[in-house]
Structure 1
Amino acid sequence: MQQYNIIKTKRLILRKFNKDDTKALFTLLSDNEVNTFLPMFPLNSIDEAEEYLNNIINSKDLTYAICLKSNNIPIGYIKLSHDESHDLGYAVRKEYWNQGITTEAAAALIKYLKTLDLPYITATHDIKNPGSGEVMKKVGMKYKYSYEEQWQPKNIKVIFRMYQFDINNNKGYVYKKYWDKYPVHFIEEI
């Protein structure tokens, strides 16, 4: 899936991560508050950040560094998984929360994804993280269902809301893998 184009918005540059981004990635992923809703534990060292960065660079996922145009240093990331879920994920340093950065990055990425041969993208958020759900709504994603998962590696019970964005007139299709996989699933009035 890795078909990187540099994406520019009014305030941002979305670009491929490179070896010089280790410190910025460590700043983001070592923050306990930022990490609360990420599917990993906070990073503890620059060495861990370097290993994580190597995994990003070598992954089949499409992962962009979210950078301010003013300095081109990553303040976050946005990614799309290469598997059948085409799952959208993101994180931004907390000093940039509530400024529309993630929404701006997600909207720009979706615009780019419309040029690729993808039928849809999905995204999930913990119900305790409604701000993430607001990003999904603002970029045109539609709520489909909720499910309960024993989330690993953190080993906590989480109720996720699953959203979907149909790219290529895929109307009517709902990605049901999580619905089918987890016995506790339901549709909320949102």
Structure 2
Amino acid sequence: MEIQTERLVLRQFTSSDKDIQAIYDILSDEEVNQYLPLFPLRNKQEAENYYTDRIHPLYENNSSYYFAICLKEDNQSIGYVTVNLEEGHDFGYALKKELWGNGIVTEAGLAVISEMKRMGIKYITAAHDIHNIASGRVMQKLGMTYQYSYQEQWQPKDILVTFRMYQLNLDDKKNRVFKKYWNMYAEHFIEDI
């Protein structure tokens, strides 16, 4: 599947050298990676392994959408946006830091959300580290609303993180709240934000 917006092409990653380099460029940056669960990639071989072991199986199993965010002008990946098709329909994203603040993730996210709604997905969820305020602002721009917070011992970094869980209902059940994380983690609460 490919989605186009005014500035972007959203497409699958491939095993091409160009895409492997893009994965490395995105996921090796310590600042981009600060709020992601994995450690920064150390070399291009780790990027290739990441594609082979983590991204490609999602395409084969149809268990998630994992779109490379590309600028139309060169079709070069500058980030990604994902939606897990399992229970929580977890929505995630990352972007090269030199492009932060240009509305790129919001533009890509809105296009993906529109496609999810067209496909009959009833809701999506997303969570951000409470220290990653910019990610929370993206969720709000996408129309998501804060539901609750919870603490999780995040792996493989093995750090305690407080997450804010956001949700966007794509059908007429506007009061639906996905409670899995609330029920899963003993430390959960609603913040006044």
TM-score, normalising length from structure 1? 0.95
Pairing 1:1-190 to 2, within 5 Å after superposition: 5-20=1-16, 21-54=19-52, 55-59=54-58, 60-190=63-193
Q: CA deviation at 1:82?
A: 2.4
Q: Identity of aligned pairs, percent?
A: 51
CA RMSD of aligned residues (A): 0.9
User: Aligned partners of 2:161, 2:102: CA distance in 1, in Å?
Assistant: 27
- Local SS of the residue matching 2:119: coil
Equivalent pair of 1:35/1:41 in contact (CA under 8 Å): yes
Q: CA deviation at 1:117?
A: 2.2
User: Aligned partners of 1:181, 1:31: CA distance in 2, in Å?
Assistant: 31
Unpaired runs of 5+ residues, structure 2, are none
Stretches (4+) displaced over 4 A? none
| 1:53-91 alpha-carbon deviations (Å, 9 max, x no partner) | 122022122100000011001000000112201000000
User: Aligned partners of 1:133, 1:169: CA distance in 2, in Å?
Assistant: 24
Length, aligned pairs only = 186
Equivalent pair of 1:145/1:161 in contact (CA under 8 Å): yes
| 1:163-185 alpha-carbon deviations (Å, 9 max, x no partner) | 00101222221100110011111
- Local SS of the residue matching 1:122: strand
User: Aligned partners of 2:102, 2:84: CA distance in 1, in Å?
Assistant: 25
Q: CA deviation at 1:30?
A: 0.6
User: Aligned partners of 2:188, 2:48: CA distance in 1, in Å?
Assistant: 37
Unpaired runs of 5+ residues, structure 1, are none
| 1:105-162 alpha-carbon deviations (Å, 9 max, x no partner) | 1111101111112110000000000100000000100110011111111111111000
- Local SS of the residue matching 1:37: coil
User: Aligned partners of 1:26, 1:99: CA distance in 2, in Å?
Assistant: 22
| 1:16-63 alpha-carbon deviations (Å, 9 max, x no partner) | 111111011101111111000011111111111011112202212210
